[in-house]
């Protein structure tokens, strides 16, 4: 059967559940072996196609594939690589089509964020134009939860759960000690442009005086005086103050807090490092003893505390992508459609890639509390189901027993 | 019955399992209700005694007490407060005895680190001298694992597990992306004087090229050149390098890395912040893209990933402390005695407080690899059983359902 092989690639920052999506793709392809051939995974994402470094997933046992479901990170490697603009230079796109043609690849599954959906869309257009049609289906993935037309992005729910659990736990620690020790604790989380992850910290809050007392979102310009007043008030009322700050927090003029000159000795934007900036502000202006944490990769790799809902959805969009492709739905992204908040119900859908690409979905105003430092009941209704349920990995000797697959690639058929 | 009440206090930095110890104390006291009266908990630790702020644990239901077993932080509050030297000023010790006398307290259980064991010892001596004998039993607790005469300190095993799991997970993330993104990832963990916590990160390592590639211990003077050579070699061999660095990492002249002048704009010792220092070194000298994380309180509050062994031992030392007290063993600390590495077997013991107090137990040389950047097989034999087993808390709506007890105190009988 010509052109029934598939190419699957992981793109951009990896997550705790992107391999669950890979598992959904591969298992569903295996279940449809009569209609879909070999699933090749790109070694290091789309680079694997450009370099013709294809991993033949057929060599993995069913058990090895099943173990992807509970393994964080990108099992086949991922990359941050944006193809050149199709209008200016289509050579990379042509190279993709050449590689697909050489390996009888008729299905392209691209598992990533907005840029990746854009790429998938362009490959779909170009394949047709070049007389080698490829069925291109995008699969959503981003911890930032910033894709449009899907209720949520697999990967987000698990980070959200990690942040909510961490805030709840750290708050108990700080509360225990605040009489004589730390009064302000600052947790920096991811989210360069959208505050979904920081907002999820709000799920840890029970009553009015519970942590987190302040959430600093990129969507709300950071006002030092109002922040300081709120922190002081929390310490005076509750005895302590827990702050969740998004790495993308910025001033009204658009500058990131983490770019503040003179307050951070190296201040690379990639550094993270907004937590120490906020800590220094607290020290200098309020004089409280403080501590800070930067979760960085721990938050998006934390499969051990993954959301069961997220794992299910990550698997389901992988499965659904294959079903869409087999139904001939080219140029779409598998989506999650919410049909009810409580009880939470969702189903699978599809959205045109053309409408997904390059749209960044930020927190709506209705999700942000009036003072800008918290989340509303509407936000809680949206967020709460996404962190529901636990899906623990198996352990061996006290450590999760994660899959480790061989990255060996099949022989090349083209010149590099 | 006079003087059969008990006073229990949590001291110093709290842990994921110190409340399991509280649970062990209270449940065992309840099981011996004929011989031991009310267990009063100190509000905010020893301050609760000095201020006569006593929480009557009898008001908590059996269920509420049982829930302490899975709740992190210090349920009754803790404090960093070192009593004045007994020789120079015994007023605080006399005050303790006065409060104990006023509330018929004949048992003192002090749950903390080295300083606390010292205090318990002095209370024992002074009570006798003042004609009000109190049976003083220390209960070990410290994430730093630096108490002598006990095989391990409850609290450590859970931090160790958190660090090992986090390293394993973050390493999968970094490995996925290293071709085009981060090549060096640095995780800062606790341990100001002893490197036990950082060493536990070594449990994540399987094969030679697995993470962590470098562990920076306080016990080994930090040599920049050797560190950089090792990091470069890891990146060249494995494609990436994961570093676990102890907050107590220091140069040969004794200076903490986190105190480095000119590299950190605020550089308070309490800040943590050695990770960004090491990151800056990597950037400036090797030019690799890097990320860093600072776990801070998340690591010692992470009850969600507690070691089952640690939870059992934390409970057991609480129970054993009461048994020791009822057996009239004054001036001892409950200990954990290892009888076998594999299969791991342990039993409970007791050590004289006089021999525990103010002794800091660092990593033995035999546990540190020859190059100083890793752990030996002997260290793994010691550490591995301590992180074994999972003991998940119950969840509600996606977040652990932790206990929250009232901190209301009983009426005072003395002048403040």
pLDDT tens per residue across span B34-50: 999 999 999 999 999 99
- Which residues of A does the annotation mark as catalytic? 144
- Where helices occur in A333-385 by DSSP H, the ranges are 353-356, 377-383
Residues of chain A neighbouring B14 (CB-CB closer than 8 A): 172-173, 176-177
Residues of chain A neighbouring B181 (CB-CB closer than 8 A): 79-80
Question: Among candidates A203, A150, A140, A158, which has minimal Cα distance to A308?
Answer: A158
ipTM: 0.96
User: Which DSSP helix (H) or strand (E) runs through B335?
Assistant: strand B332-340
From CA B212, how far away is CA A15, in angstroms rounded?
Answer: 20
B111 forms beta bridges with B10, B139
pLDDT tens per residue across span B67-105: 999 999 999 999 988 888 888 888 999 999 999 999 999
Closest to B398 (Cβ–Cβ): which among A80, A304, A389?
A389
Q: Higher model confidence: residue A357 or residue A347?
A: A347
Asked whether A81 and B180 are in contact (CB, 8 A), the reply is: yes
Structure-token match 């170009």, residue found = A126
Q: What percent of chain B has pLDDT over 70?
A: 96
Q: What pLDDT was estimated at residue B88? A: 86
CB neighbour list of residue B7: distance below 8 Å, 6 or more residues apart: B39, B40, B41, B42, B49, B54, B100, B103, B105, B107, B108, B109
Indicate the DSSP class of residue A303. Answer: G
Q: What pLDDT was estimated at residue B260? A: 60
Give the nearest chain A residue to B18 (CA atoms).
A173
pLDDT tens per residue across span B284-300: 999 999 999 999 999 99
Strand duo B54-56 + B39-42: pairing: antiparallel
Residues of chain A neighbouring B390 (CB-CB closer than 8 A): 392, 395
Contact B173 A279 (CB under 8 A): no
Q: What pLDDT was estimated at residue B264? A: 38
Closest to A14 (Cβ–Cβ): which among B173, B268, B293?
B173
Q: Which residues of B335-363 are buried (b: 16+ CB within 10 A; e: fewer)?
A: bbeeeeeeeeebebbbbebeebbeeebbb
State the best of B51, B162, B177 to mutate against chain A, taking most chain A CBs within 10 Å.
B177
pLDDT band at A4 (very low <50, low <70, confident <90, very high): very high
Q: What pLDDT was estimated at residue A2? A: 63
Q: What pLDDT was estimated at residue B19? A: 98
Residues of chain A neighbouring B177 (CB-CB closer than 8 A): 13-14, 74, 77-80
Q: What is the pTM of this model?
A: 0.97
Contact B73 A264 (CB under 8 A): no
Active site residue B144: yes
pLDDT band at B11 (very low <50, low <70, confident <90, very high): very high
From CA B350, how far away is CA B336, in angstroms rounded?
Answer: 8
A332 forms beta bridges with A137, A352
Catalytic residue among B144, B146, B259, B310: B144
Q: What pLDDT was estimated at residue B359? A: 84
What is the rounded average pLDDT of the residues A154-167?
98
Residues of chain A neighbouring B265 (CB-CB closer than 8 A): 262-265, 280
pLDDT tens per residue across span B357-373: 878 899 999 999 999 99
pLDDT tens per residue across span A310-356: 999 999 999 999 999 999 999 999 999 999 999 999 999 999 999 99
Q: What pLDDT was estimated at residue A345? A: 98
Q: What pLDDT was estimated at residue B326? A: 97
Q: Higher model confidence: residue A299 or residue A2?
A: A299
Q: What pLDDT was estimated at residue B2? A: 63
Other Cβ atoms less than 10 A from the Cβ of A164: the count is: 29
- Where helices occur in A130-155 by DSSP H, the ranges are none
State the best of A15, A75, A168, A173 to mutate against chain B, taking most chain B CBs within 10 Å.
A173
pLDDT band at B273 (very low <50, low <70, confident <90, very high): confident
pLDDT tens per residue across span B207-258: 999 999 999 999 999 999 999 999 999 999 999 999 999 999 999 999 999 8
Which range (A256-265, B153-162, B303-312) has the least confidence? Answer: A256-265
pLDDT band at B269 (very low <50, low <70, confident <90, very high): very low
Contact A291 B291 (CB under 8 A): no
Q: What percent of chain A has pLDDT over 70?
A: 96
Tell me the CA distances in angstroms from B262 to A40, A264, B249, B274, B277, one per residue in order: 50, 11, 17, 13, 10
Q: What pLDDT was estimated at residue B271? A: 45
């Amino acid at each position: 059967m010509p052109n029934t092989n598939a190419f699957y690639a992981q793109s951009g920052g990896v997550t705790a559940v992107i391999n669950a999506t890979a598992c959904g793709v591969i298992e569903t392809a295996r279940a449809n072996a009569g209609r879909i051939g070999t699933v090749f995974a790109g070694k290091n994402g789309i680079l694997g196609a450009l370099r013709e470094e294809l991993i033949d997933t057929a060599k993995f046992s069913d058990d090895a594939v099943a173990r992807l479901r509970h393994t964080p990170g990108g099992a086949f490697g991922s990359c941050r690589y944006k193809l050149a603009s199709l209008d200016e230079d289509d050579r990379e796109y042509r190279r993709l089509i050449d590689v697909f043609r050489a390996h009888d690849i008729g299905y392209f599954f691209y598992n990533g964020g907005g840029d990746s959906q854009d790429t998938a869309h362009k490959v779909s257009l170009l394949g047709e134009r070049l007389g080698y049609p490829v069925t291109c289906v995008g699969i959503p993935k981003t911890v930032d939860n910033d894709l449009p037309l899907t209720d949520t992005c697999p990967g987000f729910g698990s980070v959200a759960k990690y942040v909510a659990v961490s805030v709840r736990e750290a708050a108990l620690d700080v509360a225990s000690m605040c009489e004589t020790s730390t009064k302000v604790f600052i947790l920096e989380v991811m989210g360069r442009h959208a505050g979904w992850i920081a907002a999820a910290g709000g799920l840890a809050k029970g009553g009015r005086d519970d942590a987190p007392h302040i959430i600093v979102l990129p969507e709300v310009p950071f006002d030092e005086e109002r922040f300081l007043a709120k922190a002081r008030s929390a310490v005076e009322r509750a005895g302590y103050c827990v702050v969740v700050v998004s790495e993308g927090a910025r001033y009204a003029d658009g500058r990131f807090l983490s770019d503040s000159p003179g307050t951070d000795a190296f201040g690379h934007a990639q550094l993270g490092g907004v937590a120490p900036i906020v800590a220094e502000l607290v020290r200098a202006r309020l004089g409280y003893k403080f501590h800070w944490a930067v979760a960085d990769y721990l938050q998006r790799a934390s499969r051990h505390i993954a959301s069961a809902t997220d794992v299910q959805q990550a698997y389901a969009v992988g499965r659904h992508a294959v079903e869409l492709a087999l139904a001939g739905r080219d140029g779409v992204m598998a989506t999650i459609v919410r049909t009810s908040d409580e009880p939470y119900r969702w189903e699978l859908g599809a959205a045109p890639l053309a409408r997904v690409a390059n749209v960044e979905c930020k927190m709506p105003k209705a999700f942000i509390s009036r003072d800008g430092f918290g989340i509303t009941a509407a936000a809680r209704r949206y967020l709460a189901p996404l962190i529901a349920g636990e899906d623990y990995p198996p352990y061996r000797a006290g450590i999760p027993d994660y899959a480790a697959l061989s990255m060996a690639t099949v022989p090349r058929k083209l010149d590099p």
